[in-house]
Amino acid sequence: MNLALVKPTMDGAASDVFAVARDRLPGKGPVAEVRQAAFDDFAQKGLPHRRVEEWKYTDLRVLLREVAPLAPPPDQAALDHAKKALASLDVNGAHRLVLVDGAFAPQLSDTASEAGVTVQTLRAMLENADIAARADLLRTSVASDAMISLNAAMATDGVVIDVAENAALGKPIHIVHVSTQSKAAAFTRSLVKVANGAHVTLIESFVAADGAAGYQAHDSVVLWAGDGADVQHIRLVEDARDAANIATAIVTLGERTQYRAFNLTSGSAVCRYQAFLRFDGQNAHADVNGVSLLNDRQHADTTLVLDHAVPHCTSNEVFRAVVDDQAHSVFQGRINVHPDAQKTDARMMTRALLLSDEAEADNKPELEIFADDVQCGHGATTGALDDSLLFYLRARGLPEKEAQALLIQAFVGEAMESIADETLREVAIATAERWLAARG
């Protein structure tokens, strides 16, 4: 496909990143072999660039330039620093699991056992020679992607969560990524297995400790939701404004599974969230929604790939981008309907609101349909705030910024409706309000 165009060589710096880090990466034997193979794949591909179709609008050779060196394991000062950042989180009452600079921090996490859920660290499992299949923790078959390979090669830690059959967890599981080191990279990988019939809310937050700048957060989440499971998956990316966040989610849904995802990006200079979702059992439903709130020169890319591999599944994607100044929003939505996936109902709607003349939004819907009895619909719009609505609000006494803020909140509100939990929806709304308030 793009092979002929891909530069076959990596510059020395990227290779060094792995060579320098290798001894620090957990897992020997088969784990080290998988890492090496993954890194070789990355080295062969190099950082994705505009001639790789899936990364067309997000050229990491331009935006990221290079992979930053691995952050050092957090010392006491880093942990103290991270602890302060946790205080600003809006999510309360969750089962909190904290990763600081790519390492699980038990001191900052809720480690008390809770009925129906077991949590282990990726590091411990990779290092446990008794686990025969430990190398599989780093394997993925979903896509050939340089950044997935890089993550597998470099992952230092993460959480491995098992939710028991029919468990209904009393509180959400909250994975918090805190970066404390400037110009360093954290590589995390978490695996979440939700057994049949279990109900789970999974939240991921990405935040910076005060002063951490120019760092890179590389993350992968692999999630299996069993038959009849009900999974709510919320991501809140509020990284430092000059940071990079490159994240992948790989989601597999069983029969009759309900999966409701919401991704909010308001932080980081460069952000890529790519989710690969596969329907493996019939009569499942997925809502995959997202909001990007961008200004200055922020670049955020949401790329969703949905595979309707079996019949009778439904999916709905609602994406909203609010783009100010010289920021750039990218939405790519791919829906693959496999030959057997009759009665698929897949919908995708993406809308961008441009608040300045220099703001840019790219929407790329791609539908590939091999079954004949399906309903697939997609739509994309890009526009400015409606002047007639603005005037109506101003004529009722709202100053310009407040009128804009109200309309922007209404614009993103529809995408937030997939958050069933009212408290969490308010967390998302509060994040949007912070962004709006910062606009001044």
Cβ(78)–Cβ(98) below 8 Å = no
For residue 429, state whether it binds other proteins (rule: CB under 8 A).
Answer: no
| SS (HEC) of 231-282 | EEEEEEEECCCCCEEEEEEEEEECCCCEEEEEEEECCCCEEEEEEEEEECCC
The span of 75-83, 155-163, 340-348, 386-394 binding other proteins (CB under 8 A) equals 386-394
Give the DSSP H/E element, type plus range, for residue 369.
strand 360-369
Pairing mode of beta strands 159-163, 185-194: parallel
The span of 110-118, 122-130, 148-156, 383-391 binding other proteins (CB under 8 A) equals 383-391
For residue 400, state whether it binds other proteins (rule: CB under 8 A).
Answer: yes
Distance in Å, CB of 413 to other proteins, minimum: 4
For residue 262, state whether it binds other proteins (rule: CB under 8 A).
Answer: no
For residue 380, state whether it binds other proteins (rule: CB under 8 A).
Answer: no
Distance in Å, CB of 417 to other proteins, minimum: 10
Q: Give the one residue of 20, 402, 434, 438 binding other proteins; rule: CB under 8 A.
A: 402
Distance in Å, CB of 388 to other proteins, minimum: 5
Report the residue number, 108 or 416, with the smaller CB distance to other proteins. 416
For residue 1, state whether it binds other proteins (rule: CB under 8 A).
Answer: no
Q: Give the one residue of 398, 429, 433, 439 binding other proteins; rule: CB under 8 A.
A: 398
Q: Which residues are CB-contacts of 52 (< 8 A; sequence separation ≥ 6)?
A: 2, 5, 6, 45, 146
For residue 385, state whether it binds other proteins (rule: CB under 8 A).
Answer: no
Give Cα separations from 125 to 31, 131, 176, 183, 347 (angstroms). 10, 7, 20, 28, 39
Number of residues that bind other proteins (CB under 8 A): 23
The span of 177-185, 253-261, 345-353, 409-417 binding other proteins (CB under 8 A) equals 409-417
For residue 403, state whether it binds other proteins (rule: CB under 8 A).
Answer: yes
Cβ(435)–Cβ(293) below 8 Å = yes
Residue type, 66: E
Instruction: Please name the residue ranges forming H helices in 396-421.
Output: 400-416
Distance in Å, CB of 397 to other proteins, minimum: 4
Helix (H, G, I), strand (E, B) or coil at 387: helix
Report the residue number, 51 or 394, with the smaller CB distance to other proteins. 394
Cβ(409)–Cβ(432) below 8 Å = yes
For residue 422, state whether it binds other proteins (rule: CB under 8 A).
Answer: no
Q: Mutual orientation of helices 146-154 and 30-45 as an angle, nearest 10°?
A: 150
Report the residue number, 52 or 264, with the smaller CB distance to other proteins. 264
For residue 370, state whether it binds other proteins (rule: CB under 8 A).
Answer: no
For residue 133, state whether it binds other proteins (rule: CB under 8 A).
Answer: no
For residue 331, state whether it binds other proteins (rule: CB under 8 A).
Answer: no
The span of 8-16, 57-65, 344-352, 384-392 binding other proteins (CB under 8 A) equals 384-392
Report the residue number, 339 or 399, with the smaller CB distance to other proteins. 399
Distance in Å, CB of 412 to other proteins, minimum: 8
The span of 123-131, 226-234, 307-315, 408-416 binding other proteins (CB under 8 A) equals 408-416
For residue 132, state whether it binds other proteins (rule: CB under 8 A).
Answer: no
Residue 105 CA to residue 220 CA, distance in Å, equals 18
Report the residue number, 30 or 413, with the smaller CB distance to other proteins. 413
For residue 440, state whether it binds other proteins (rule: CB under 8 A).
Answer: no
Q: Give the one residue of 15, 413, 426, 439 binding other proteins; rule: CB under 8 A.
A: 413
Token pair 């309360």: residue: 92
Residue 438 CA to residue 440 CA, distance in Å, equals 5
Give Cα separations from 370 to 44, 143, 332 (angstroms). 32, 19, 20
For residue 399, state whether it binds other proteins (rule: CB under 8 A).
Answer: yes
Report the residue number, 306 or 353, with the smaller CB distance to other proteins. 353
Q: Mutual orientation of helices 146-154 and 12-21 as an angle, nearest 10°?
A: 30
Cβ(171)–Cβ(199) below 8 Å = no
Positive or negative, the Cα torsion across 49, 52, 58, 64? negative
Task: List residues near other proteins by CB under 8 A.
Answer: 386-389, 391-400, 402-403, 406-407, 409-411, 413-414
